[in-house]
């Protein structure tokens, strides 16, 4: 087992972070029994507050405006926006637009709640692009499955795609999007499949075993944008060490070659072993290791301009709040030591809010996660190495990179 190779310079000890938050974000709620319960973001923000993240001098929690129709039209078709409004006003389904399905039940106020999520991600993009903040976060966002004309996979408006489109509309020439949700970031890929200005990278469970059924290595970008859609389809059961090996084999070399002006990352926590909807076996510690790697890459390749969103994650108490509290702490430049106890006040809030027993520490007990570097050799018998090599062969030559080596 090899230890991690030398890393690029450590990010500044105290990065400026703007957190976009409004209590009204919990109105994005598909109702009782739906996996995407907004209590997960409520518990995350409560944990961040109890850990003192909001009190750090370099962290600012700010409100924002909902996305208006002009912003939504950067990605979504006008008839679809009208359909979302109508469904949210009447409660009536419109399955032609993906509204009223088991994944996306209609709820009253659907448009307003969804536009608020999108507005938070656009505000994060604006803060980073204008230099108001070095990093910005919308943990309620990351709704990466929404398509231009339909809701899909618990997602109504595609806030990451709207934020990227806003950046392009305001002068950005190269934007990179890295998606570490267990599900393929299909909606963001579709929005920019033919646009060479946007590099999308998605690491996810293979679509052979998981929704949405897309995200194969041969999905590499449209004409004129070859190599800008990157998909790593990992086998069920992939845990921390092989997942991080795949990440290190794909993400750093492509970001270094693409040199984005802004890095936007989606942090679905549903790759965790406890998540009820998928089949990877990451720990919170493996996830926080990925957050730190993305933070370093933002400073190394994108001038420190980093936008982070949440995403999936359906273990509402044990996983999502800890994972995303680690994410916010990492983005602030002062990571939370994994052995840190969860605050007593937060555990009591969890008990009162959910009637569940909260985890006692910020770690799953695997706080030091080593990485097997790709440059140390390819194992043809490893299903993860096979998946990585398929992706490298599909896209690395388009970037002038060797699929077999780190050069």
Q: What would the mean pLDDT of 8-20 be, rounded to a whole number?
A: 77
The H or E element spanning position 120 is helix 110-129
- Residue pair 318/282 in contact (Cβ under 8 Å)? The answer is no
| Mean confidence (pLDDT) of the chain | 95
- Residue pair 118/75 in contact (Cβ under 8 Å)? The answer is no
| Predicted local distance difference test score (pLDDT) of residue 407 | 61
- Residue pair 145/154 in contact (Cβ under 8 Å)? The answer is yes
For residues 278, 395, 241, 206, the Cα torsion angle rounded to the nearest 10 degrees is: 20
| Predicted local distance difference test score (pLDDT) of residue 101 | 98
Position 1 pLDDT exceeds 90:
no
- Banded model confidence at residue 8, pLDDT cuts 50, 70, 90: very low
Q: What is the DSSP string of 141-180?
A: ---TT-BTTB-BTTBSS-HHHHHHHHHHHTT-S-EEEEE-
- Banded model confidence at residue 10, pLDDT cuts 50, 70, 90: low
Position 210 pLDDT exceeds 90:
yes
| Predicted local distance difference test score (pLDDT) of residue 366 | 87
What is the pTM assigned to this prediction?
0.96
The radius of gyration of the chain's CA atoms, rounded to the nearest angstrom, is: 20
- Residue pair 287/323 in contact (Cβ under 8 Å)? The answer is yes
Position 5 pLDDT exceeds 60:
no
For 11-113, list the strands marked E by DSSP: 17-20, 59-62
| Predicted local distance difference test score (pLDDT) of residue 371 | 83
Q: What would the mean pLDDT of 238-267 be, rounded to a whole number?
A: 97
Q: What angle do CA 80, 99, 216 make, to 5 degrees?
A: 85
- Residue pair 84/114 in contact (Cβ under 8 Å)? The answer is yes
Three-state secondary structure call for residue 228: coil
Residue 92 CB neighbour total at 10 angstroms:
11
Tokens of 265: 């990352």
How many angstroms separate the CA atoms of 156 and 158, rounded?
Answer: 7
- Residue pair 289/244 in contact (Cβ under 8 Å)? The answer is yes
pLDDT tens per residue across span 258-291: 999 999 999 999 999 999 999 999 999 999 999 9
Q: What would the mean pLDDT of 76-87 be, rounded to a whole number?
A: 98
Position 122 pLDDT exceeds 60:
yes
For residues 355, 27, 291, 229, the Cα torsion angle rounded to the nearest 10 degrees is: 130
What proportion of the chain, given as a percentage, has pLDDT over 90?
A: 92
- Banded model confidence at residue 405, pLDDT cuts 50, 70, 90: confident
- Residue pair 229/288 in contact (Cβ under 8 Å)? The answer is no
Strand-by-strand arrangement of the 17-20 sheet: 59-62, 17-20, 135-138, 306-309, 262-266, 175-179, 198-205, 229-234
Options 97, 135, 145, 326, the catalytic residue = 145
How many angstroms separate the CA atoms of 123 and 21, rounded?
Answer: 10
| Predicted local distance difference test score (pLDDT) of residue 4 | 37
Beta bridge partners of 52: none
Output the CA–CA distances (angstroms, integers) from residue 133 to 17, 304, 312, in the order listed: 6, 10, 25
Closest by Cα among 265, 266, 246, 253 to 384: 246
| Predicted local distance difference test score (pLDDT) of residue 124 | 98
| Predicted local distance difference test score (pLDDT) of residue 362 | 98
> 145 an active-site residue?
yes
Tokens of 342: 């969860």
pLDDT tens per residue across span 130-183: 999 999 999 999 999 999 999 999 999 999 999 999 999 999 999 999 999 999
| Predicted local distance difference test score (pLDDT) of residue 38 | 98
| Predicted local distance difference test score (pLDDT) of residue 377 | 87
How many angstroms separate the CA atoms of 198 and 175, rounded?
Answer: 5
H helices then E strands: how many in the chain? Answer: 11, 8
Q: What would the mean pLDDT of 310-326 be, rounded to a whole number?
A: 98
Helices (H), 302-395: 320-331, 344-354, 383-395
Three-state secondary structure call for residue 231: strand
What proportion of the chain, given as a percentage, has pLDDT over 70?
A: 96
| Predicted local distance difference test score (pLDDT) of residue 12 | 66
How many angstroms separate the CA atoms of 208 and 187, rounded?
Answer: 18
How many angstroms separate the CA atoms of 179 and 203, rounded?
Answer: 6
């Amino acid at each position: 087992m090899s230890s991690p190779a030398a890393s690029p310079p450590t990010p500044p000890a105290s990065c400026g972070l703007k957190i976009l938050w409004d209590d009204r974000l919990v109105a994005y709620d598909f109702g009782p029994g739906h996996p995407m319960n907004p209590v997960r973001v409520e518990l995350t923000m409560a944990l961040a507050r109890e850990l003192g993240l909001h009190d750090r001098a370099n962290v600012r929690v700010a409100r924002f405006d909902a996305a208006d129709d002009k912003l939504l039209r950067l990605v979504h078709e006008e008839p679809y926006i009208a359909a979302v409004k109508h469904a949210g006003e009447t409660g009536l389904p419109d399955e032609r637009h993906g509204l009223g399905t088991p994944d996306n039940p209609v709820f009253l106020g659907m448009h307003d709640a969804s536009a608020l999520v999108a507005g938070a991600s656009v505000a994060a993009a604006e803060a980073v692009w204008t230099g108001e903040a070095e990093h910005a976060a919308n943990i309620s966002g990351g709704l990466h499955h929404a398509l231009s004309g339909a809701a899909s996979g618990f997602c109504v408006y595609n806030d990451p795609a709207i934020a990227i489109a806003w950046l392009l509309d305001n002068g950005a020439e190269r934007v990179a999007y890295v998606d570490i949700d267990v599900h393929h970031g299909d909606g963001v890929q579709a929005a920019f499949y033919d646009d060479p200005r946007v590099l999308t990278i998605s690491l996810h469970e293979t679509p052979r075993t998981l929704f949405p059924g897309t995200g194969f290595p041969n999905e590499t970008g449209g004409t004129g944008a070859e190599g800008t859609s990157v998909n790593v389809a990992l086998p069920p059961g992939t845990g921390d060490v092989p997942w991080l090996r795949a990440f290190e084999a794909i993400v750093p070399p492509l970001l270094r070659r693409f040199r984005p002006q802004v890095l936007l990352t989606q942090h679905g926590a549903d790759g965790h072993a406890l998540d009820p909807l998928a089949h990877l076996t990451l720990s919170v510690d493996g996830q926080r290791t990925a957050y730190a790697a993305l933070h370093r890459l933002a400073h190394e390749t994108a001038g420190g301009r980093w936008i982070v969103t949440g995403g999936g994650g359906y273990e509402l108490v044990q996983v999502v709040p800890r994972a995303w509290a680690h994410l916010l702490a990492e983005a602030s430049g002062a990571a939370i030591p994994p052995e840190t106890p969860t605050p007593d006040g937060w555990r009591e809030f969890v008990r009162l809010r959910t009637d569940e027993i909260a985890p006692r520490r910020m770690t799953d007990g695997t706080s030091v996660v080593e990485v097997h570097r790709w440059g140390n050799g390819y194992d043809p018998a490893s299903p993860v190495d096979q998946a990585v090599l398929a992706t490298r062969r599909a896209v690395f030559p388009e970037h002038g990179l060797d699929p077999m080596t780190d050069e």
